[in-house]
Amino acid sequence: MPLTTATSASFDMARYMEDVGAAARSSSRLLACATTAQKNTCLRSLGEALLRYKNEIIAANEMDCAGAQASGYDSGLLDRLQLSPQRIEALGAGILEMIELPDPVGVIEHLAPQPSGIRVGRMRVPLGVIAMIYEARPGVTIDAAALCIKSGNALILRGGSEAIHTNRALAGYIQTSLEEAALPRQSVQLVATTDRAAVGHLLAMKRWVDVIIPRGGKTLIQRVDEEAQVPVIRHFDGICHVYVEASADTNSAVDVCVNAKTQRLSTCNTAETLLVDQAIAAHFLPEVARRLQQAGVSLRGCPQTRAILPNIDAATEEDWRTEYLAAILSVRVVKDLDEAIAHIAEYGSGHTDTICSSDYHTIERFVREVDSSSVMVNASTRFADGFEYGLGAEIGISTNRLHVRGPVGLEGLTCQKYVVYGDGHIRQ
Amino acid sequence: MPLTTATSASFDMARYMEDVGAAARSSSRLLACATTAQKNTCLRSLGEALLRYKNEIIAANEMDCAGAQASGYDSGLLDRLQLSPQRIEALGAGILEMIELPDPVGVIEHLAPQPSGIRVGRMRVPLGVIAMIYEARPGVTIDAAALCIKSGNALILRGGSEAIHTNRALAGYIQTSLEEAALPRQSVQLVATTDRAAVGHLLAMKRWVDVIIPRGGKTLIQRVDEEAQVPVIRHFDGICHVYVEASADTNSAVDVCVNAKTQRLSTCNTAETLLVDQAIAAHFLPEVARRLQQAGVSLRGCPQTRAILPNIDAATEEDWRTEYLAAILSVRVVKDLDEAIAHIAEYGSGHTDTICSSDYHTIERFVREVDSSSVMVNASTRFADGFEYGLGAEIGISTNRLHVRGPVGLEGLTCQKYVVYGDGHIRQ
């Protein structure tokens, strides 16, 4: 990729992006037919390169961090931008784990004879070309490349300008690894320009891009979702609920609430609202409030909650719709299961919701009727994660309904085509 | 549905469509939790109503046909618009067959314990609200309603103005059947106005509509695909290929070619291009040409083809990209498998392509490398169909890559959510 052109005065963005797209498409055709051994060879090379060139990666990353600091970015961004030696080792270890995962491509399911005599099945194949639009975190460069290579998809990476030196270094190692496995180096391309107009081109390249996956702040995701002409796999809010039903085991329910809220504050699967059955509210709320407040969480309650916990702030209508990503939890007392399900349907984001209960019928209804990408029973919402679900890795969590819902692993990056075997069969 | 408002002077289209959307959403929540027995009861009522009210349906249909004739519509449209008693009986029989199909909703797959101790699986659930935008064919009203009811999806129907009387009659019987099964009658709604602006509203109703399925001419599908902010499951061209490879059994390959082209001329899975290996062209082409020409098919050939069949027209570059839907077949001689695969990748529409061959390695490569929604071996492209594939019914054929590819049956109208069962599990 001629990086220099990206800064020259005569740079033709539209032409450049078309070239990137066309190269991705032709690489994707070859990558789709690569053997598992080839793809694993590439991953092994990449994992080794990360360890071998750790110092070079850190040097590039330090340039980005210094630049970001000079530009006055906040500490959160700096934190996401920085790659420590440990983080690089973890990325390398993640790649080696991916080698162990089964290759989804080429698997044929449900191959069965039909009345006409033809045999019909479905073969799993790569989606084609994936474009990843993301901010700050350079680890995404490696994770996305490894997932796409293993699933046979070509990848166009469009990282944030703040991480450009790190991403260029990483993309170089990725392309070398592809070549070492006799795969096209343009199977993974980093958009060489930091001009924001490149994103607009990506969003419109229906001919070259099969799906766009944005990762980053809400503004980025909304822009992508509104402007994209290409299908988008994306994740909006994580307004996750814990509903403690009347029959719940109190101790266990308190543990689940505390873990769901505090195990990590800033993740999308962190609980933001606690719903408690009125039958147990007087008993349960003081106990859970004590534990949450010990952990530094502020509560905001509905009137019934504040009648039991008079010292907490009132929750407004806005609170029920808020993803705090902070040490705040809104609390509401509900009459029963119906009111809990209705609250989640009205205010939830379809991400992850859990019930604490011991009652079979209540649990069955909650699991069936709550319409979220993950519905849980007696477990912390924090489990909504590709590794915890056994996917081995995830490229993100989807709150789409179509194609893939919840954590997106290798299978989410594939689709199925029908395969039909006949013996000269014709239709009557 | 107050049909009268749709024609009154003060009719507020935006408000009306919002009401339709909101009613669909709230109905979808109830329909998603309906039992299989309830849904089958509804289908049985509907199947019986079609037979009982056959004369009323035909009377409504005659009004539409008379109107279409007076408006000077072409005979193709009139043909698609007309419902004969036999056609109504066939629609009724199709509904009764759908009762026998397994209910996809609620099925949990892959439920398995993970290292943390939680058990994780995926439950199949309805997509939510489906909007169907279609032309002429009133049979789509019944097929789409039956598929959506069985799969637990609410449905908004937007048929063409030419079929409005037939569709109103059919929608009435559908809503009565829903009520007879204690399901919300607004689970299936027909947009009451024939104003084309209604389509624009549907395409933008992200809040109320989960997926749009257009069926009809290319202009309609392109408009929907370009304007929709809601995800679209759609089907563009069917430029299907038959590739006759050197090792093919000649007699069987001729039969497949003739069937793929002539069994029905105007369907999307009809073959439009024949590719023949140069090694067998001199022998194979005269034989297949004779049979095709007997069946009334005109051939258009590449220079090599015309060297063997001098009396046929020349195929232009445009021919390779054309879905004739008529008794025309373009014919090209190719050097080998690679050239056949490259031709299909360049000119095909990713719909259905078949190889005639006896060679294991060639077949394996064709199946793996051709990137179409159906890839076939020694079988006519005409088999690309929901009934032939054992789906029981289809709402259309998707040439999308995401979500569903090929014939779309009940499963294509569902998605999966994760279900997680714990016993007070918290994340460490």
**What CATH number does residue A259 fall under?**
3.40.309.10
Query: What are the C-alpha distances in Å from B409 to residues B106, B236, B393?
Result: 16, 18, 6
Residue B334: closest CA among B350, B346, B323: B346
**Order of strands, sheet of A328-334, starting from the edge strand that comes earlier in the sequence:** A313-314, A298-301, A328-334, A271-277, A240-244, A352-356, A374-379, B414-425, B119-126, B108-113
B307-352: per-residue pLDDT in tens?
999 999 999 999 999 999 999 999 999 999 999 999 999 999 999 9
Q: Please give the residue of chain A at the shortest CA–CA distance from B129.
A: A401
Residue B236: pLDDT band by 50, 70, 90 thresholds? confident
CA distance B173 to B191: 15
A188 CA to chain B: closest CA distance, Å? 20
What token pair was written down for B146? 């039956």
pLDDT the model gives residue B218? 85
**Residues B33, A415: C-beta atoms closer than 8 Å:** no
**Residues B427, A106: C-beta atoms closer than 8 Å:** no
CA distance A195 to A6: 9
CATH number, residue A148:
3.40.605.10
Residue A424: closest CA among B354, B309, B11: B354
Q: Please give the residue of chain B at the shortest CA–CA distance from A31.
A: B369
For chain A of 428 residues, list the mean pLDDT of each consecutive stretch of 10: 52 94 97 97 98 97 96 89 95 94 96 97 98 93 97 97 96 98 98 90 95 91 91 90 98 98 94 98 98 98 98 97 96 98 96 98 97 97 95 88 93 97 96
**Residues B422, A377: C-beta atoms closer than 8 Å:** yes
CA distance A104 to A81: 32
Among B256, B345, B420, select the one facing A376 at the smallest CB separation.
B420
Among B29, B123, B426, select the one facing A259 at the smallest CB separation.
B426
- Proportion of chain B above pLDDT 90, given as a percent: 89
Which residues, 6+ apart, have CB-to-CB distance to B44 below 8 Å?
Answer: B96, B99
Residue B367: closest CA among B358, B379, B376: B376
CA distance A122 to A417: 5
Query: Is the same domain home to A135 and A54?
Result: yes
Residue B4: pLDDT band by 50, 70, 90 thresholds? very low
Among B125, B372, B377, select the one facing A421 at the smallest CB separation.
B377
Query: Is the same domain home to B198 and B216?
Result: yes
**Residues A376, B406: C-beta atoms closer than 8 Å:** no
Strands B108-113 and B119-126: antiparallel
Q: Report, as an integer, the average pLDDT of B62-84.
A: 93
Question: A interface mutation test: which of B417, B419, B421 has the most A CBs within 10 A?
Answer: B417
**Residues B417, A114: C-beta atoms closer than 8 Å:** no
DSSP string, B251-270: HHHHHHHHHHHHS-TTSTTS
- Domain of residue B142: give its range: 12-234+408-419
B277 CA to chain A: closest CA distance, Å? 18
B114 CA to chain A: closest CA distance, Å? 7
CA distance B193 to A417: 38
Q: Does the residue B383 lie in any domain?
A: yes
**Residues B418, A384: C-beta atoms closer than 8 Å:** yes
SS3 B333: strand
- Across all residues in chain B, what is the average pLDDT? 94
Q: With 0-12 CB in 10 A as exposed, 13-18 as middle and 19+ as buried, what is B44?
A: middle
Q: Does the residue A399 lie in any domain?
A: no
Q: Does the residue A2 lie in any domain?
A: no
Strands (E), B65-217: 108-113, 119-126, 129-134, 154-158, 188-190, 211-215
**Residues A29, B420: C-beta atoms closer than 8 Å:** no
Q: Does the residue B274 lie in any domain?
A: yes
Query: Is the same domain home to A133 and A181?
Result: yes
**Residues A426, B112: C-beta atoms closer than 8 Å:** no
- The dihedrals phi and psi of B422, each to the nearest 5 degrees, come to -125, -175
Query: Is the same domain home to A171 and A259?
Result: no
Of the two residues A5 and B16, the one the predictor is more confident about is: B16
pLDDT the model gives residue B9? 63
pLDDT the model gives residue A75? 87
A47 CA to chain B: closest CA distance, Å? 25
B165 CA to chain A: closest CA distance, Å? 33
**Residues B379, A255: C-beta atoms closer than 8 Å:** no
**Residues B114, A425: C-beta atoms closer than 8 Å:** no
Query: Is the same domain home to A363 and A254?
Result: yes
Query: Is the same domain home to A279 and A328?
Result: yes
Among A252, A405, A418, select the one facing B374 at the smallest CB separation.
A418
Query: Is the same domain home to B31 and B149?
Result: yes
Q: Report, as an integer, the average pLDDT of B161-175.
A: 97
**Residues A418, B424: C-beta atoms closer than 8 Å:** no
A77 CA to chain B: closest CA distance, Å? 26
Query: Is the same domain home to B366 and B344?
Result: yes
Contact list, B423 vs chain A (CB under 8 Å): 252, 378
CA distance B64 to B76: 14
**Residues B120, A390: C-beta atoms closer than 8 Å:** yes
Query: Is the same domain home to B344 and B368?
Result: yes
Query: Is the same domain home to A154 and A293?
Result: no
**Residues B402, A401: C-beta atoms closer than 8 Å:** no
Contact list, B373 vs chain A (CB under 8 Å): 417-418
As a whole number of Å, the end-to-end CA separation of chain A is: 54
Contact list, A360 vs chain B (CB under 8 Å): none
Q: Does the residue A427 lie in any domain?
A: no
pLDDT the model gives residue A56? 97
Query: What are the C-alpha distances in Å from A42 to residues A33, A99, B134, B172?
Result: 14, 10, 48, 60
Among A127, A354, A423, select the one facing B401 at the smallest CB separation.
A127
State the residue for tokens 């999307």: B268
**Residues A424, B125: C-beta atoms closer than 8 Å:** no
Query: Is the same domain home to B222 and B267?
Result: no
As a whole number of Å, the end-to-end CA separation of chain B is: 54
B38 CA to chain A: closest CA distance, Å? 16
Query: Is the same domain home to A53 and A130?
Result: yes
Residue B273 pLDDT > 80: yes
ipTM above 0.95, yes or no: no
Packing angle of the helix pair B250-262, B278-294 (nearest 10 deg): 50
Contact list, A351 vs chain B (CB under 8 Å): none
Query: Could you give the number of structural domains in chain A?
Result: 2
Q: Please give the residue of chain B at the shortest CA–CA distance from A111.
A: B389
pLDDT the model gives residue B308? 98
Residue B205: closest CA among B186, B226, B228: B228
* CB count in 10 Å sphere of residue A207: 11
Q: Does the residue B277 lie in any domain?
A: yes
**Residues A417, B424: C-beta atoms closer than 8 Å:** no
State the residue for tokens 């029959």: A247
Among B259, B403, B418, select the one facing A426 at the smallest CB separation.
B259
Phi-psi category of A251—alpha, beta or left, where left has phi over 0 and alpha has psi -120 to 50? alpha
Residue B8: pLDDT band by 50, 70, 90 thresholds? low
Task: Give Cα B173 to chain centroid, integer Å.
Answer: 24
Q: Please give the residue of chain A at the shortest CA–CA distance from B352.
A: A418
Q: Does the residue A426 lie in any domain?
A: no
Q: Does the residue B399 lie in any domain?
A: no
CA distance B16 to A375: 34
**Residues A231, B402: C-beta atoms closer than 8 Å:** yes
Q: Please give the residue of chain B at the shortest CA–CA distance from A26.
A: B345
